[in-house]
Amino acid sequence: MSLSAAFRDIFLLLGFLAGCFVYGQEQQTLEQRQPLELVFADSIVPQDHHEAMFTTGGWYSKQQGDTHAALLTQKVEWGISDTLQVSTFIHALQSSNQNGSTATGMGDFEVAARYTWATVRSPFTHIAVAFDAGFPTGNFTRGLGEAAYTVSPSLLLSQEFSNGKYQVFTTDGFEIVVAHRNIADVPHHSIFSNSGVSTHLGHGWAVGELSVNSNRWSGGSDTQVAFTPSYVWRLARRTELLLGIPVGLTSSADHIGGVVKFTFELGGGGR
């Protein structure tokens, strides 16, 4: 074999391997490219048909002064189909000194449904619509709930860049109070926006989220704004650990906090 023929064969082999690598990168699923959970925004990644996702969260927040709260949450999502999911979210154990002495007990409960368009003209553009309903199962007089029945329609948008290396996302919607318990501090409707950017880093993603929640448009007096840097570590193909630090940017927001979430999936197609 001549030297030129050898070089030709080597270049052909390298080209073939590079093509395989690029093809593999492009063939990654949305679940492989993006985190399963975020801190406040909803992840655009849906569950497969008959796939379940479990997320246990630990939350701590400190407000101005000596007021603080700790919370243990449990979220379960279930894929009715590849596009339609239902979920439950419960404040399983909550501790707060919001009303003076520290109180501990169960908080509020939510149920939700979501429909996702995972591909909108491009495999890197995603849209979902969601609807949540909240129930005041916590004891408001002890600072363990919101004392309101609520519904929350929301819109999720996600755009990926560089074959999924970067993502810009947002979850925007309203929380509408449809009824409330007999309390002096009447809850107000609110509008919220949880937006951010994520990028692949190491074995996971570095994420920055900006969260805004305001009830001023409905007669309230609060506008809560927080910035949350976080890291989502993909421990295994369907298992994640999230660590985040919310920092309040307005006087009505929690001054600072910490969030830990452990997420894993079972069943489904095993993407």
pLDDT tens, position by position, 78-113: 999 999 999 999 999 999 887 778 889 999 999 999
**What was the pLDDT predicted at 213?**
97
Mean pLDDT on 163-181: 95
Look up the pTM and report it: 0.86
**What was the pLDDT predicted at 27?**
61
pLDDT of residue 14 exceeding 50? no
CATH number at residue 63: 2.40.160.40
Residue 214 shares a structural domain with residue 90: yes
Residue 11 shares a structural domain with residue 114: no
Mean pLDDT on 181-201: 91
Residue 150 shares a structural domain with residue 86: yes
Yes or no: say if 126 and 132 are a contact pair by the CB < 8 Å rule: no
3-state SS assignment for residue 89: strand
Write the DSSP string, 195-231. Answer: EEEEEEETTEEEEEEEEEEE-GGGT---EEEEEEEEE
Residue 93 CA, distance from chain mean position: 20
Q: How far is CA 70 from CA 102, 103, 230, 249, 269, in A?
A: 10, 10, 18, 20, 36
Interatomic CA distance for residues 213 and 141, integer angstroms: 23
Residue showing tokens 């154990």: 93
State the total domains in the chain: 2
Residue 23 shares a structural domain with residue 107: no
Interatomic CA distance for residues 75 and 143, integer angstroms: 21
Residue 47 shares a structural domain with residue 16: no
pLDDT of residue 133 exceeding 50? yes
- The whole domain housing 11 covers 1-29
**What was the pLDDT predicted at 67?**
84
Residue 56 shares a structural domain with residue 130: yes
What pLDDT band is residue 268 in, cutting at 50, 70 and 90?
confident
Mean pLDDT on 181-192: 87
Mean pLDDT on 212-219: 94
What pLDDT band is residue 9 in, cutting at 50, 70 and 90?
low
**What was the pLDDT predicted at 98?**
75
Residue 88 shares a structural domain with residue 137: yes
Which tens digit of pLDDT belongs to each residue from 41-77? 999 999 999 999 999 999 999 987 788 899 999 999 9
Residue 22 shares a structural domain with residue 52: no
